[in-house]
Amino acid sequence: MNKRDFLKLSGAATLAPLTLASTAAFADANDAGSASANSSSSSLQSITSGVSPITNAEREARIKKAQSLMAQHNMAAMIIEPGAAMDYFSGIQWWRSERLTALVIPQKGEVAVVTPFFEQPSVLESLKVGDDVRVWQEHESPFDVVANILKSRSIERGNIGFESSVRYFVVTGVTKALPNMNIVAAEPVTRGCRMYKTAAELTLMHKANEVTLRAYEYVFSKLEIGMSQAQVKSLMNSAQQQLGGSGAWCLALFNDASAYPHGTNAKQTISEGSVILLDSGCSVHGYQSDISRTLVFGKASQQVVDVWNTVREGQNVAFAAAKIGTAAGKVDDAVRKYYVTQGYDKDYALPGLSHRTGHGIGMEGHESVNFVRGETTPLNKGMCFSNEPGLYIPGKFGVRLEDCLYMTDKAPVYFTEPPESIEKPLGKLVPLSA
């Protein structure tokens, strides 16, 4: 393969499938020159300037939807700790410490924020909705402040919602300050909002997936014999950051380490014939991507090709099963039924598929609901999932292909289309559906 042919295959402008059939192809790519986006890291430019963050108006609409769901579920108020849900509703980007910062959402009335006095200026920097920010001093109880907020909104009894991730001291502190209120799960409300993505959210996720796929294209062209997992991980993270992604992450699993979905501590390097499994993502304005690719440096054995093709067909099976109104668990069931025909176990035994077929995704890399056995939540418009039915053979290698999809009112649509073959392991970006 000459340089011109390689550039036609791997042009970053079109994200055409990238062929990696031999080490010669890698060498050609490494010599390709500044005309290609694969030539050097300096050629990687941000592609995220054209997308906008979530607007204040959308956050206000989210709060109204939450309040409507709270009424349906007989919930007088919710207390939200720092994390994705707090950012989702208020824009506040904060962390959890021993000092309480919380968002209070009443069923009726304006939201409020509780935070330490000396943190108030910093919290206000990211607050997008509401202006009722109440502080507490070091010698005071933040839970009394929470109680006063609710009392000012005529809430002193009824159900108060907490997500399952809220820490024990917060729940007990609020319970003591509001003894006439009952603790209930907030997930019917928070999940009922966050599970269904709007057009603005899908746009940000689409851009995040574009960043990650372009980073893969760049990294594939830079792989060399002797490179360590740490080097490839660093290269992938750097590429995503230069392309405009934030919070970039990467799992780089080589050789027999690829048989472990999240890797081992054993050090591995690339050699001729190495199986390379990469799982990577980033965020754009708080919304996540998650793409996995498995390729071979050099010539793949027939066993690797066969397993790769089986996993790729597993993605097709999952995609076909993801129909509007179908229980999410049926997607996982369909993949395992297919794998049985290929000689694998119907359950989670190895060699086989030891994890769920996919997970929800949005502001967090893993969100509810999942493509997993027994999940009865029906698929509906706006839900987003990974599709990653890997296969793992302990002591040898593993294959995982992962592309994220979103549900329209008719069918699933990919953010990134899965790769065509092990010789063309990149895949391509799919235009965002209207």
* pLDDT (tens digit per residue) in 252-305: 999 999 999 987 888 899 999 999 999 999 999 999 999 999 999 999 999 999
Give the predicted TM-score (pTM) of the model.
0.90
pLDDT for 420 beyond 50: yes
What mean pLDDT comes out for the span 45-64?
97
Query: Rg (Cα) of the chain, in Å, rounded?
Result: 24
Residues recorded for the chain: 434
Tokens of 325: 């109104």
Which residue bears the tokens 């909002």? 193
Strand-pairing partners, residue 79, are 104
Q: Write out the H or E segment, with its range, that includes residue 172.
A: helix 168-177
* Per-residue pLDDT at 262: 86
What mean pLDDT comes out for the span 138-142?
97
Tokens of 163: 């997500």
CA distance 312 to 321: 15
Tokens of 151: 């009392």
Tokens of 83: 């994390």
CA distance 178 to 122: 28
Percent of the chain with pLDDT over 90: 88
What mean pLDDT comes out for the span 344-372?
97
Question: Do 123 and 115 contact (CB within 8 A), yes or no?
Answer: yes
CA distance 179 to 20: 64
In this predicted structure, which of 5-19, 124-138, 354-368 has the lowest mean pLDDT? Answer: 5-19
Question: Do 266 and 299 contact (CB within 8 A), yes or no?
Answer: no
